[in-house]
Structure formats: C-alpha cells, structure tokens
Amino acid sequence: MNPWPFSARRIRKELILILLLNLICYLLFSRLDLFEKLDLWLHQHPSSQLDEVLLVSFTLALSMTWFAIRRLREARHLLKALRRQAERDDITGLANRRHANQALLRESERSGRSGRRYSVLLLDLDHFKHINDSHGHLVGDMVLQRFGLALRQRSRQLDTVARWGGEEFIIICPETEQEGARVLAENIAKLLRETDFSPVQSVTASIGVATLADDDTPDSLVHRADMHLYAAKQAGRDRVIGEGPSEPPQA
C-alpha cells in the first residue's frame, strides 16, 4: 500500500477527471440545447449584462486553471523532496531501513519472476560504543559517514546500500550469488582497514552474508545474514562469515 496520500499518478488522474467532467458538461449542454436557449435569451434581453458576466467567468476560469497547474507542479516537487527525505538517513545520506525493506521486497519479487537469486550483506561496526564513549558522538557520526562512503565506493550502482539501524548497515545485491557477495564483503573489510578514520585509530566491521533460498522471505533472508553476523562477532570480529559448510552460522 502506498503510504503517500498524493503522487504524480494521482495528480494526472485528477487532471484527466477534470477534463472528462468538463467534456461531459459540454456534451450535456449540447444535447439539451442549452447553448441555443442561452443565445435566444440574450437576444430577447439585449439590455442584459450576462455577456460581460460570461466573459469575466471565462477569464476567471482560465486564471484558476493556471493557478491550479502551478500549485500542482509545486506540490509534485514538494512530494518528491519529502519522499527523498523520508527514505534517507540524516547522518550518512544513505537509504534508511524503510527504503531497504522496500528494496528487499522488490528484489524478492524480481527473483521469483526471473529465478536469479540475490544476496544480502549485514555489516556492524566493531566496538562502535567504545568510539562514542572515547571520542564523543560527533566523532561517532563522522565514522558513520566515512563508513557509508566506503560502502558506496565498493558497491555497484545497482546495489542498495542502507543504514539498517545504529551502527548496522545492509547492502542488497541483485542477481548476486554467495561467492560474489563474499568477494564484495571481503573488499569492503579490506577498504575499511586502509581508510583513515582519524582521530579514531582504526575502524573494522563484522559482516554476515546470506543468499536467497527457494523458501526464503525477506525477513528470513535478513535473519540468516544476522546469524552469520553474530557468528563473525563471536569469532573475533573484523571478518566475513557467509554460507558454506566450513562456516556454519551460530543461532
């Protein structure tokens, strides 16, 4: 269900409805000969000022139409700005959890149609609470911003990179099997080790990787990635754990 009360499609529908209503009124007036009756009445009452009233009404209608079109265009731009704001994280500029959930649903539906699986990376900054406690929240926000930038640098343009919550991030990789997702995760981990996060000495992340299975839902897929993320934390952090016989997730 669309949570927005207005949309560009709805505006177009309303404009079409207005045009249809005016067309119906015109056809109705023509069928009932109201135009001819009005013309006859004007000839029978030459002293009437109705023609001036009609002229004023016509110009007023044009003015109101112009005004409505301008307001509709402004509303359309405002709705686009509000939608962007509602789907973006304020600190990192990445997509937020709401947008990520929509992307998960979209990719699951696409995978069901095409038969091509997609993968999810769930990332968690290691010891982020210690960074906040030691350096303050402003430095913590800076770390989140640089971390988000690193994710964008290593991800593909078609991937969805989002802040999942707190110090957790998610990357949704369309048409990507486990091996490709693992390579991306390892590249991200390597980039973090090489990135300057001054005044923080070093920043690392634990990453869990999961690939869509036949009986998966978006929630079960993310849950499985979260299990792998937890396993990476338990194994010592700063590592990638995905699906495979050698690295089973821990419940």
Q: What are the residue numbers of the active site? A: 167
**DSSP characters for 96-162?**
-HHHHHHHHHHHHHHHHHH----EEEEEEETTHHHHHHHH-HHHHHHHHHHHHHHHHHHS-TTSEEE
For residue 88, give the H/E element and its range. none
Q: What phi and psi values does residue 126 have, to the nearest 5 degrees?
A: -75, 135
Mention every residue, 6+ apart, whose C-beta is less than 8 A from residue 39: none
Distance CA 97, CA 105 (A): 12
Provide the β-strand partners of residue 88: 95
Distance CA 155, CA 213 (A): 22
Q: Which two tokens stand for residue 212?
A: 């869509």
